[in-house]
């Protein structure tokens, strides 16, 4: 039993959700609001139960008095999933917000709204599900629930990325299966572009893959126009690893297109922007003929 469950057991006559202590890194998403909180446990629970057939028996419990104090503490979940909710009626640190909002792929008007947010909630996974992907899906569902209660954006600090909260709100296009199959670099992993003075081209690198048990990837592209193609390749590689359990290492090669191959190498010492406490590989692309003849690999 986690700390929140112990608090509820002392203050509630009903049987509370039970949170659990997670070994290793705990998955988290941060949710920002344009205004101070207006929601309550009953309304959140109703929205959760209406989100999907999988969540129709969901539950939400907020610790008495915490919402009124501007620091709501609670648990929300269904089935094996339990999510700790910790709220603050104040903005997130601006540097953290910029790390997630600056490189994100949505319009500047929405980014300005996110930067000007007034309150935020931090979600921590604390359920029994062992699959890290399913844990992230559960967090995304709660983000979608909060989108109907004033949330304007979902941030993933560990992945250096964010998305508008409306992306996850209940709709005909959003199901738990669609969350399970959406490209990983959209939110669960991030992809950031860097221009380095004196280095032609644009570096593209991922963040947060280690939280799914995967390696991060980086590629020095010839220009910004290669971003979409690189995103697609990275998304496919990461999904393949997650589903198959396969793992790459420096020197490995793989076919990633009809006539496109990739080769992995460790970052060079001078590639300082690739410094990481976690596994990361530089991806270099080549045609079949280049792979066979030993021609230097280029973007």
Instruction: Report pLDDT digits (tens) over 164-184.
Output: 999 999 998 889 999 999 999
* pLDDT (mean) for 8-15: 48
What does the pLDDT average to over 216-245? 93
For residue 295, pLDDT beyond 70? no
- Residue 66: the pLDDT is 78
Q: 8: pLDDT confidence band, cut at 50, 70 and 90? A: low
Residues 221-231 have a mean pLDDT of 92
Q: What is the mean pLDDT of residues 138-160?
A: 97
Backbone angles phi, psi at 152, to 5 degrees: -115, -20
The stretch 78-100 carries a mean pLDDT of 96
Provide, rounded to the nearest whole percent, the portion of the chain with pLDDT above 70. Answer: 92
Q: Which of 38-42, 56-60, 109-113 shows the lowest mean pLDDT across its residues?
A: 38-42
């Amino acid at each position: 039993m986690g700390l929140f469950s112990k608090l509820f057991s002392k203050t509630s006559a009903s049987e509370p959700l039970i949170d659990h202590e997670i070994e290793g890194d705990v998955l988290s998403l941060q949710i920002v609001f344009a205004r101070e909180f207006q929601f309550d446990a009953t309304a959140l629970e109703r929205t959760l139960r209406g989100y999907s057939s999988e969540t129709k028996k969901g539950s939400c419990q907020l610790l008495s008095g915490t919402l009124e104090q501007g620091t709501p503490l609670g648990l929300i979940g269904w089935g094996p999933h339990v999510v700790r909710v910790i709220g603050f009626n104040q903005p997130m640190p601006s540097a953290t917000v910029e790390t997630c909002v600056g490189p994100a792929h949505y319009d500047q008007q929405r980014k300005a709204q996110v930067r000007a947010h007034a309150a935020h909630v931090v979600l921590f996974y604390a359920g029994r599900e062992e699959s890290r992907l399913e844990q992230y899906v559960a967090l995304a569902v709660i983000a979608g629930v909060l989108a109907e209660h004033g949330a304007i954006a979902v941030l993933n600090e560990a992945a250096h990325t964010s998305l508008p909260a409306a992306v996850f709100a209940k709709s005909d296009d959003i199901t738990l299966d669609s969350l399970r199959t959406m490209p990983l670099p959209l939110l669960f992993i991030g992809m950031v572009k860097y221009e380095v003075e004196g280095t032609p081209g644009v570096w593209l690198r991922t963040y947060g893959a280690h939280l799914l048990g995967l390696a991060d990837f980086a590629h020095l592209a010839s220009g910004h126009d290669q971003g979409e193609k690189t995103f697609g390749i990275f998304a496919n590689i990461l999904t393949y690893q997650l589903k198959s359990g396969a793992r790459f290492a420096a020197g490995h090669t793989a076919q990633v297109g009809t006539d496109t191959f990739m080769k992995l190498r460790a970052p060079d010492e001078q590639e300082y922007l690739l410094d990481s406490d976690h596994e990361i590989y530089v991806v270099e692309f080549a045609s079949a003929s280049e792979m066979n003849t030993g021609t230097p690999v280029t973007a």
